[in-house]
A and B are shown apart, each in its own frame.
Chain A
Amino acid sequence: MSPDDVIQLSRMQFAITALFHFIFVPLTMGLSFILAIMESVYVMTGKRIYKDMVKFWGKLFAINFAMGIATGMTLEFQFGTNWAYYSHYVGDVFGVPLAIEGMMAFFLESTFVGLFFFGWNRLSKIQHLSVTWMVAIGSNLSALWILIANAWMQYPVGAEFNYETMRMELTSISELFFNPVAQVKFIHTVSAGYVTGSMFVLSISAWYMLKRRDLAFAHRSFAIAAAFGLASVCSVIVLGDESGYEAGQIQKMKLAAIEAEWETEEAPAAFTLFGMPDREAQETHHAVKIPWLLGIIATRSIDTEVKGIKELVAENEMRIREGIHAYALLKSLKTGNASDLEKESFDQIKENLGYGLLLKKYTDNVVDATEEQIRLASVDTVPNVPVLFWSFRLMVASGSWMLLVFGLAFIYSNTKKHISDRPFILKLALISLPFPWIASEAGWIVAEMGRQPWSIAGILPTNLSTSTLTADDLYFSLTGLIGFYSLLFIVEMFLMLKYTRLGPSSLHTGRYHFEKLEKPEE
């Protein structure tokens, strides 16, 4: 077991690098699809302006894509560098989707992206369009496999513990693939990516129209983004609701923590709209509640109760006691001269082994854990309620706001009065630019902090997952990562702003705003 600060620093490092990586990923997923749609329109209509749109938004896509690659490597390294025991304990399961992701998706995306940028004069229209679709499909498939891996951390199915190798081993690839959490999460996450791409195009196009620049170009981009964005944001919200239901079935503690539902309420449970969750007192002050709503979301019924945190803690305490037995049996199995009876009884209770391991935080000798230690460990199974409570509400509020913006943008881009003459809608679109990122980052905080104290829910505590590093190692890497990421982010934003300001003029076709200013005769 590693010292506390190594665990905290490792968690912080993973959180920072993953959240930073996810600034770029959703935009890649969304923009790649929007590029494919724009190019499809170009191939169907033959209008040059759509080709220019693909090329210009493609330039911004490239600036973002390079950052996605640079920051993605960090995550692949980190499972090994910082989470070595995790890698050993679950690599047999977790590594499989990652390897398949590389073979199936990364190659597709990365090989064809070069052809997308440099193949315009080498490929036929149809060939190039196919290449663009390959990039879009590749980037979305990457999301599929990494989310299958992530979903397994939330809800570990299709795997079994093997005491001889001391690790989880894959027993069914189809259970892993068809994990209900994975299916919901995949659609929810890629749709969020489409929303990000759409909002990006929508806001920047709105800005051009507010500046009265490149109206034809901006108007067409705006219309595509509004339609695609509206469809996507609806998908995110529907699948978000589906995740709520799925969490009600599977990730009960996470749901209770998100809702700050301390006590089990009578069915159907009320939904706490706002309030001040208090971890010490284990209650939520000043709660504003909507009757019935939580019960309906989480159970799709009005007579099933949603378990509260305190009841779940009590259940977990029982599992920790079972886990102590499992741990004792494991110890005896490891000596090599255990009886068949012991093997059998270990198999019966090994699903609780992980709960026994929670005690490792307090004592190396799990078998002799005191009542106080068991109580502390069971309280540990509650994630950070206020953080979850607020992150979730931030995500939902951002999502609802975007539904409104995309709805208005879609309606008004299809009316008689030209959208460029509706500054209010355009300004609304412009100021909404940060919301997809706020929603995504908050969403990941809910998903991953809601999984605590586990790295694999119910199987492996986060505390045990780290490498045997020293705090100094972590200070070194954390400083380097934060320093370089800040530097690169500034550079990226600088280029992004520069090219956004230039707009389609950056293509040097002679047909756009700044070029016309320079050469009025054209």
Chain B
Amino acid sequence: MFDLETLQVIWWALICVLFISFMLTNGFDTGIGIILPFAAKTDTERRILINVLAPHWDGNQVWLVLAIGAVFAAWPVIYGTAFSLFYFPLMLALFCLFFRPLGFDYRGKIDDPRWRGFWDWGIFVGSAFPTFFLGLIIGNLYIGLPFSMDEFHRALVSTTFISLFNPFSILSGVFCTSLLVMHGASYSTLRTDDALNNQLIRFIKMGSLIALISFVLMGLMLWQFMDGIVLNADNQVASVKAGWLNNYSVHPDLIFAPIAGLLGLAMAYLFSAKSPLLAFFSSCVAIIGAVITASGSLFPFVVPSSISLQDSLTIFNGSSSTYALTVMSWAAAFFVPVIFIYTAWCYKQLWGKLTARFIHENDHSLY
């Protein structure tokens, strides 16, 4: 069908699409989970927020499962190397993630304030920490990671948890978290009525503002204070100042990605009180812009090495074979559109505003 290099670029794009879908859908579940204990004070208000995502969180989470599965299948060595490099944050994220599905499903099953309070914080922990760690992990890709490859292509990994905390990666974690706070809050304004909305609008503003500031700061750091690596014409990897901005001079169109990110964040802030729909739309634009900025700046690198530049993993040296990628391309070409169609149908069937009255009338069948 296609040659290897084309397939590698297609799969890079597809994995970006999967991560965007994950951030857009699972993102508002996560955002709602983070603001749950703060934005909603009474049990009924919290139940409104949880039931906004109740029928969908499981399907949404599969975008993450699929994104990781696609990384495994399309970039096996990248998957193995990155996941063992980030052993601690991933294990901690995993422990926190346990509390999310259980929180959603178990919270409403016993009518006791201590039980429900426990799960409210469980959902918060299961949403906030994995999101922060995701940002932390992505931030560290720009710093580079301590690994090299031996002659049998085994990744020799040495990393400590503390070393993953540096100004850039922390900023990236803050960015990721505030981005999803904005997204979760703006999605729930579509599905709730006035009383709760005023609370939610404050979180849209707060999230978009912090995200905007950290986004700009990260850009400045990449430009002025950090080295990045580039792939020279002769396939040699070189470290240069502001190297992560190199792609913007090679492909000037890429500049639309950070612009979309910035504009989306600003618009979400401005529209938050006026038009929930426009605010949510802007929030989506911001997320799409941010993911493309993040992956586009790294391209073609995925996991750069800090101790052995030549061993840095790219979409070219880290991908699966032509045959495997071709098989999966056919599968994706068929299934991904089908998934979009039936997911849309499910949202359509269950769309509508959630009110306190609705919660009380369906006390025993809702979360």
Contact = CB atoms under 8 A, between A and B. Distances in A.
Interface stretch (A106-114, A213-221, A259-267, A371-379): A106-114
Nearest to B321: A169
Interface residues of A, number: 78
A113 B331 CA distance: 23
Contacts of A101: 69
B349 A66 contact: no
Which residue of B91, B335, B350, B366 has the most chain A CB atoms within 10 A of its CB atom? B91
A162 B73 contact: no
A85 B109 CA distance: 43
A87 B76 CA distance: 6
Given A115-B346, A115-B349, A506-B364, A80 B83 contact: yes
A23 B305 CA distance: 40
B37 interface: no
A273 interface: no
A102 B102 contact: no
A488 to B, nearest CB: 6
Interface in B89-106: 90-92, 94-95, 97-98, 100-102, 104-106
Interface of A, secondary structure class, is helix
Given A84-B80, A162-B321, A495-B106, A111 B328 contact: no
Interface in A208-261: none
B332 interface: yes
Interface string A465-499: 00111000100110011001000100110010011
Contacts of B270: none
Given A76-B68, A102-B69, A111-B59, A67 B77 contact: no
A508 B77 contact: no
A79 B106 contact: no
B72 A114 contact: no
Interface string A120-144: 1011000000000000000000000
B324 A102 contact: no
Contacts of B331: 99-100, 103-104
Contacts of A107: 59, 62, 66, 335, 339, 342-343
Interface in B311-367: 320-321, 323-324, 327-328, 331-332, 335-336, 339, 342-343, 346, 349-350, 363-366
Contacts of A93: 324
Contacts of B65: 72-73, 76, 102, 106
Nearest to B153: A166
B88 interface: yes
A282 interface: no
B349 A119 contact: yes
B90 A81 contact: yes
A468 B84 contact: yes
Given A103-B66, A112-B346, A170 B91 contact: no
Contact of A92 (B101, B106, B320, B343): B320
A488 B102 contact: yes
B226 interface: no
Nearest to B126: A70
B105 A63 contact: yes
Contact of A167 (B76, B97, B104, B151): B76
A262 B318 CA distance: 45
Interface string B31-49: 0000000000000000000
A114 B76 contact: no
A491 B77 contact: no
Contact of B83 (A81, A115, A480, A481): A81
A98 interface: yes
Contacts of B342: 107-108, 111-112
A80 B72 CA distance: 8
Nearest to B57: A114
Nearest to A487: B98
Contact of B54 (A88, A112, A118, A488): A118
B202 interface: no
A399 to B, nearest CB: 31
A176 to B, nearest CB: 9
B116 interface: no
Given A102-B62, A107-B339, A85 B321 contact: no
A50 B256 CA distance: 56
B269 interface: no
Given A92-B324, A122-B350, A80 B84 contact: yes
B162 interface: no
B323 A468 contact: no
Contacts of B328: 96, 99-100
A50 B81 CA distance: 51
A102 B331 CA distance: 11
Nearest to B103: A66
A98 B73 contact: yes
Contacts of B199: none
Nearest to B53: A114
Nearest to A59: B109
Nearest to B342: A111
A367 interface: no
B94 A95 contact: no
A83 interface: yes
B349 A88 contact: no
A84 B154 CA distance: 8
The 4 closest A-B pairs by CB, nearest first: A91-B76, A80-B83, A95-B73, A114-B55
22 contacts: A63-B106, A66-B101, A66-B105, A69-B101, A73-B94, A76-B68, A84-B84, A85-B155, A87-B77, A92-B76, A95-B79, A95-B324, A99-B72, A103-B332, A113-B59, A114-B55, A117-B365, A118-B366, A165-B153, A170-B323, A469-B87, A508-B363
Given A85-B154, A111-B59, 12 more contacts: A69-B61, A76-B65, A80-B83, A82-B84, A83-B80, A99-B69, A99-B331, A103-B66, A114-B57, A117-B54, A165-B153, A480-B95
Interface of A: 62-63, 65-67, 69-74, 76-77, 79-88, 90-93, 95-96, 98-104, 106-108, 110-115, 117-120, 122-123, 162, 165-167, 169-171, 173, 334, 467-469, 473, 476-477, 480-481, 484, 488, 491-492, 495, 498-499, 506-508
